[in-house]
Amino acid sequence: MQQQRHNRYEKARILGARALQVSYGAPVLIETDQAEPILIAAEEYDAGVLPFTVKRGKDRK
């Protein structure tokens, strides 16, 4: 499966949403030494394991 490229606004929204999930106790999807939710979310994003989809343009309904 090909990973979708996100612009900086989409990336910020994804990281913020995931950090909020982690701060509320969602399971972490990777092994990490980080303690801050935003840093955990960033590592997960870089690893390509986040199950977020961004719809844009004509795909958006």
Lookup: tokens for 16: 């913020």
State the pLDDT at residue 58.
77
| 13 CA to centre of own chain | 8
Q: What is the pLDDT of residues 42-52, one digit of tens each?
A: 999 999 999 88
Domain residue ranges in the chain: 8-47
Residue 57, amino acid: G
The CATH superfamily label for domain 8-47 reads RNA polymerase subunit, RPB6/omega (3.90.940.10)
State the pLDDT at residue 25.
97
Lookup: tokens for 41: 């979310």
Q: What is the pLDDT of residues 2-35, one digit of tens each?
A: 566 899 999 999 999 999 999 999 999 999 999 9
The contacts of residue 15 (CB under 8 Å, 6+ apart) are 38, 41, 42, 45
Q: pTM of the full predicted structure?
A: 0.84
Contact 46/10 with Cβ under 8 angstroms? no
